[in-house]
Structure 1
Amino acid sequence: MTGWTGVTWDSWRDADEIRARLDAGADPEDWGFGQRPLHRATKYGSPEVVAELARRVTDVDALEDGTTALWEAVVSDRPGNARALVAAGADPWRPQLGGWSPGRLALAGPVPDLFPVPDGEPGLTAAEQAAARQARQLVADLGDFHYDNTGLACIAGIDAAEAIRRLDGTPVDGEFMADFLDDPYEHDLDDRLLLVGVTTVPGGCVVTQPWGYTPSTPGVMTRLTAGTVGYGIYANPKSGNQGRIVRDGTEEGSGLHPGGGPLPGHTHEEVFTHYLYHRRAIAYACAFAGLRPVDARAVTGPADFWIRVPDLDYWKR
């Protein structure tokens, strides 16, 4: 990392520090490990730092992992940095992941008028506009809440009663549950991993465990998805959000990263969806299953029903 050793996230907002490093010989084209300083500044830094780096690079639209710094500005919701890049000559309408350009993607974002739309640019389709509105509504309805260590199963087309039947769950005594919810972590780990909440929401149901991973395990997802589809998520405090797709009892994907944003290899539709739900993992899981909860209660509680599931190895399907 020639000239960039010791740079922190805060450094990218300090124009004097970055300018001094560049003047002392820091390479504006190479952060190291195939990464570019301009992309990092765009994601973490200030418009002044972005402008300074953009002035010194050979190509303001140089690629890192298939995307330009302007793409990073749009996906990271950094409109000030996006404007600085365009002022330096960046092209908002250059197609990138899944055929999307930063400009067209931004039309679905929080600042849809970020770039002037040129003649001939088709903009978003009616279906894409509807998806963007739906995503904004779902994110707003869920709101912001703490969900580290929460396990979740979002299941399409069945209600809480059917989910309980499929899990062979038994109701938990209300007095016990009230005491348990005061501090779940005071209780034995093996016991609390068998307690889950189940709530009917528009489009299906949510099985939640705000203190563990059980709802997202293969065994639970397999039982819940007979004849339907579900998205399981565990918000691992150590390694981040882990997603699982199960359709009609068959796993279609695991080790997924809901809320992580668009990635190389994503299809046109996947890029769009991952942009709409970037950093909104719970909303992404609900949307995948076609659920439309009107608030976060199905995730955080109080659930419609608290139940105990049988003591089985749920890591087996």
Structure 2
Amino acid sequence: MTGRSGDWDSVGWAGWENHADVKRCLDEGADPENWRGGRPLHRAAAFGSPEVVAELVRRVADVDASQGGGTALWEAVLCDRPDNARVLAAAGADPWRTVAGGWSPGRLSLAGPTPDLFVVPEGERGLSEAERATAQEARRLVTALGREHFDGMGLACVAGIDAEEAIRRLEATPVAGEELAELVESPYAYDLDEEMLVVGVTTVPGGCVVTQPWGYGPSQPGVLERLSAGTVCYGLYANPKSGNQGSITRDGVTEAWDLHPGGGPNPDDTPEQVLASYLYHYNAVAYACAFVGLRPTDSRSVDGRADVWVELPDRDYW
């Protein structure tokens, strides 16, 4: 990609809905192939209006040019922008070009809210029964949990054990009454070390959730190691500064960390990982629950209405 991407300076991160502004920049010499080191068409496909996408389509050399392994059409499908996807397909973008994990934009769209987005050509593989069931459960789970989750919250999603067993493993003691009410109402009025020791625990279908609406307590390695004996945990901290941070702990051993649940798929992801990243795009809480097979029926396990509140022993959890 070449050109003077600086000519795009008047179009910020959220400016891709404004057709007049984008057209003016292009008319004044902005490079249609380069915006801050990336492709403007990809950005518009994910966050812009159909009019902006159409404007860029007329000016780029290849509507199916790749960025990070994906096409602009792939971005439009990932971000549930069906109108943008239709503009791109009408301009010649290929819905059935494989992008990541064996998935194409067209096949991935079959698992989303607009399964009729593209005409499926004869002989093209659709969704398997397992993939269809995964998509159906994702829609149910996202609806049950909702999307109103708070920056700064921490979770540990644990497979196969209930709240009582989680409390036993953590050697925690119940907290209740006026002290708990005050902490839940104004957690930042307390000493950091003190507030990080109080967590909520809720039994849900498939296991349990350990939660802390105000901090990273449940996602600490020492907590996850104890909870994961003989099973698997997904830890999540919604870091207000750097975004969602995930980790996987299995039978006391940390398998992966510095993950980004709710983000888009990576080019080298497995087919299952690509599908999960799409179904739970921008919903890290649902992703964490789904990863370990939890099936909560409402949001109380993650929104501060835990079954029981407990205090952890004062020890080093790092």
TM above 0.5, yes or no, is yes
Q: How far apart are 1:10 and its partner, in Å?
A: 4.1
Which residue of 2 is the match for residue 14 of structure 1? 18
1:4 equivalent in alignment to 2:33: no
TM-score under structure 2 length normalisation: 0.96
Aligned partner of 1:271 among 274, 283, 286: 274
Q: Which amino acid aligns with 2:7?
A: G
Which residue of 2 is the match for residue 240 of structure 1? 243
Q: Which amino acid aligns with 2:217?
A: T
Deviations 1:236-266 (A, max 9, x none): 1111100010000011000000000211221
For 2:220 and 2:139, locate their aligned partners in 1 and report how far apart those are by CA, in whole Å.
Answer: 29
Deviations 1:110-157 (A, max 9, x none): 111111111111210010000000000000111122321111000000
For 2:180 and 2:15, locate their aligned partners in 1 and report how far apart those are by CA, in whole Å.
Answer: 48
Alignment of 1:226-305 (within 5 A): 226-305=229-308
Deviations 1:4-37 (A, max 9, x none): 123113432222222222222221112242x111
For 1:138 and 1:271, locate their aligned partners in 2 and report how far apart those are by CA, in whole Å.
Answer: 18
Which residue of 1 is the match for residue 73 of structure 2? 70
- Consecutive unaligned residues of structure 1, counting only runs of 5 or more, are none
1:138 equivalent in alignment to 2:141: yes
Q: Which amino acid aligns with 1:285?
A: A
For 2:244 and 2:45, locate their aligned partners in 1 and report how far apart those are by CA, in whole Å.
Answer: 24
For 1:37 and 1:294, locate their aligned partners in 2 and report how far apart those are by CA, in whole Å.
Answer: 40
Question: In the superposition, relative to structure 1, how do residues 144 and 2 fare at CA in structure 2: closer, same or farther (>3 Å)?
Answer: closer
User: What is the SS of the residue equivalent to 1:98?
Assistant: coil
Q: Which amino acid aligns with 1:293?
A: P
1:178 equivalent in alignment to 2:210: no
Contact 1:2–1:30 under 8 Å retained in 2 = no
Contact 1:74–1:82 under 8 Å retained in 2 = yes
Q: Which amino acid aligns with 2:275?
A: F
1:111 equivalent in alignment to 2:114: yes
Report runs of 4+ in structure 1 exceeding 6 Å deviation. Answer: none
Identity %: 64
Deviations 1:201-235 (A, max 9, x none): 00001100111101001000000000000100000
Alignment of 1:54-203 (within 5 A): 54-203=57-206
For 1:28 and 1:301, locate their aligned partners in 2 and report how far apart those are by CA, in whole Å.
Answer: 47
For 1:8 and 1:312, locate their aligned partners in 2 and report how far apart those are by CA, in whole Å.
Answer: 46
Q: Which amino acid aligns with 2:10?
A: G
Q: How far apart are 1:96 and its partner, in Å?
A: 0.5
Q: How far apart are 1:181 and its partner, in Å?
A: 1.8
User: What is the SS of the residue equivalent to 2:101?
Assistant: helix
1:313 equivalent in alignment to 2:304: no
Q: Which amino acid aligns with 2:240?
A: P
For 2:174 and 2:288, locate their aligned partners in 1 and report how far apart those are by CA, in whole Å.
Answer: 26
Greater mean alpha carbon deviation, residues 250-259 or residues 142-151: 142-151
- How many equivalent residue pairs? 314
User: What is the SS of the residue equivalent to 2:98?
Assistant: coil
Contact 2:112–2:279 under 8 Å retained in 1 = yes
Contact 2:99–2:267 under 8 Å retained in 1 = no
Contact 1:43–1:78 under 8 Å retained in 2 = yes
